[in-house]
Amino acid sequence: MTEARSEKLKKKVFWPQWIAGCGVWLLITELGLVGGWSSPYINYLTSAESTFPVTLSEISWVVSLFNLGRFFGAIGGAICVNYVGSKTTITISTVPISLGWLFIILANSVEWLYVSRFCSGISLGITYSCYSIYLGEIADPTIRGALMALGTSGVATGNFIMSVMGAYLSMTVSAMIALVFCLLLMILFIWLPESPHHLIKKSLDEKAKSSIQWYHRDYDVESEFMDLRKFVENVNKQTLTDSLRELKIVHFRKSIIIVTILTAYAQLSGINNISFYMESIFMSAKVSVMDPAQVVIIVMACGIIGSCLSMLLMDRLGRKIVMVISCTGIALSLSLLTVEFQLLDFGFDSKTVEGLAITGMIAFYITVFSGVTLLPPTMLGELFPPHLKCIAAFIISSTAAVVSFISTVTYMPLLNFLNERYLFLFYGLLEATAIPFTLICVPETKGMSLQAIQDQLTGKSKA
């Protein structure tokens, strides 16, 4: 929508976009359930009470296969977005995760868990290849950052819910509950209309107008349709070869590098390993003020606070400031964990220092979900024009899958080599290097339309 029409509008209608945003939030909550699943059930699976024997080596693969499946999901997601649209791709992503929960329900050997985690990882890869594209295409610029933050907050919400279910419910019952909600989520996305960008691309003009009318009740439908069609037709003339060649242009190549590095920072923050092994970490820290499972619940709840902060701050302070605050908080919180384990090694009484581990973990979850996990998908949805988003999403989501897989599969070897005294310090120092990178290299896109962002990147706005 042009700035002239925007000024004439007295009141904007956002609730249809918030419905779509809540749907994405629920989907990523499902992924958060999967991400938080291993923390409460690792000790059970490796104990004598388990219905089938699982070794520590096998547990490492159960955890890591989630991120291996993500790589293949990224490939499928990029293909689907291009041919069936971002909303339909989101709908498709609910199928593998439903199978993942079903296989946990049926599990009578560790092989079922392997397949379950791999299927769930496929959903993760598909979702992260398309959800930011979908929200970017249907959101008004004034709330786009908040919608991205809402979607990403589902990870923290899912982690929290799974920590509660894991503390009080069996593995089978928690999987049944998650499966039911996943099926309901599938129905919601079948009902929502496809984004108008894809419908125009497929020459479904009437459906595109209906989609514009549904998502933007306050828009001049005909005028918006003509603007979108002109925009989509201009970029739709290019072949795949042309698009790949266009990625070599300086500002697009720079955008790919920026978002890829931000994605790597998000995965190397330690969020995966801490989420997967949190209960075990608290046991190693000798936390005794309450049961470690209950401490995990408190920490996971604080992650939701971080997600809420990101929704409030993303469109107020801007992307760069939120990212810097988040990275600073992560580095400081992981330093507290390092100090805790150093003091334990020096012989301090665990009851006098256990507050450091709890405080550090709470601060970590608040800060990691307030910026680091949010910025990469937000940048993906904002920095690339529609015809390049599929390719960019594939590159970035594949990178996330590879880096997260390497991070999780190397966690136990690094833990044995460095011990907790230095491993968390390593993650913290690594994340601190994201601060100068963000200040120097990451562009600010707060409150800008997708077209204005492209104009800024290409230098047209200056002209």
Q: What is the pLDDT of residue 81?
A: 85
Answer yes or no: is 326 within a domain.
yes
Q: How far is CA 111 from CA 114, 116, 178, in A?
A: 5, 9, 20
The answer to whether 125 and 73 have CB atoms below 8 angstroms apart is yes
Answer yes or no: is 176 within a domain.
yes
Give yes or no: residues 272 and 161 share one domain: no
Give yes or no: residues 353 and 451 share one domain: yes
Residue 456 lies in domain: 240-462
Give yes or no: residues 293 and 351 share one domain: yes
Give yes or no: residues 159 and 297 share one domain: no
Q: Distance between CA atoms of 447 and 463, rounded to whole angstroms?
A: 20
Give yes or no: residues 86 and 166 share one domain: yes
Answer yes or no: is 108 within a domain.
yes
The CA angle 186-397-272, to the nearest 5 degrees, is 85
Give yes or no: residues 53 and 159 share one domain: yes
Give yes or no: residues 69 and 133 share one domain: yes
Q: Distance between CA atoms of 342 and 361, rounded to whole angstroms?
A: 16
Give yes or no: residues 170 and 276 share one domain: no
Q: What is the pLDDT of residue 20?
A: 92
Give yes or no: residues 444 and 321 share one domain: yes
Return the closest-CA partner of residue 297 out of 36, 35, 49, 43.
36
Return the closest-CA partner of residue 374 out of 429, 327, 341.
327
87: three-class secondary structure by DSSP: helix
Give yes or no: residues 284 and 399 share one domain: yes
Task: Choose one of 135, 158, 192: the last residue of a domain.
Answer: 192
Check: pTM over 0.85? Answer yes or no. no
Report the C-alpha dihedral over residues 56, 58, 63, 65, rounded to 10 degrees: 160
Task: Choose one of 192, 225, 257: the last residue of a domain.
Answer: 192
Q: What is the pLDDT of residue 90?
A: 94
In 85-195, where does DSSP find H-type helix?
A: 86-106, 110-138, 144-152, 154-168, 171-191
CB-CB neighbours of 441 under 10 Å: 13
Answer yes or no: is 210 within a domain.
no
- Domains: count for the chain: 2
Task: Extract the tokens encoding 50.
Answer: 């388990």
Q: How far is CA 273 from the centre of its chain?
A: 15
Answer yes or no: is 209 within a domain.
no
Answer yes or no: is 253 within a domain.
yes
Give yes or no: residues 265 and 406 share one domain: yes
> The domain that contains 65 carries what CATH number?
1.20.1250.20
Q: What is the pLDDT of residue 386?
A: 66
Answer yes or no: is 178 within a domain.
yes
The answer to whether 26 and 154 have CB atoms below 8 angstroms apart is yes
The answer to whether 70 and 400 have CB atoms below 8 angstroms apart is yes
Answer yes or no: is 136 within a domain.
yes
> Residue 23 carries which side chain, given as an amino acid letter?
G
Return the closest-CA partner of residue 329 out of 442, 437, 431, 444.
431
Q: List, run by run, the mean pLDDT of 10-residue segments along the chain (463 residues).
A: 46 84 93 88 84 84 87 87 89 95 93 94 90 85 78 85 90 94 92 88 86 84 80 64 71 83 88 84 88 88 84 79 92 93 88 90 90 81 73 81 85 85 90 91 75 67 42
Task: Choose one of 158, 192, 226: the last residue of a domain.
Answer: 192
Q: What is the pLDDT of residue 24?
A: 93
Segment holding 447, helix H or strand E: none
Give yes or no: residues 172 and 289 share one domain: no
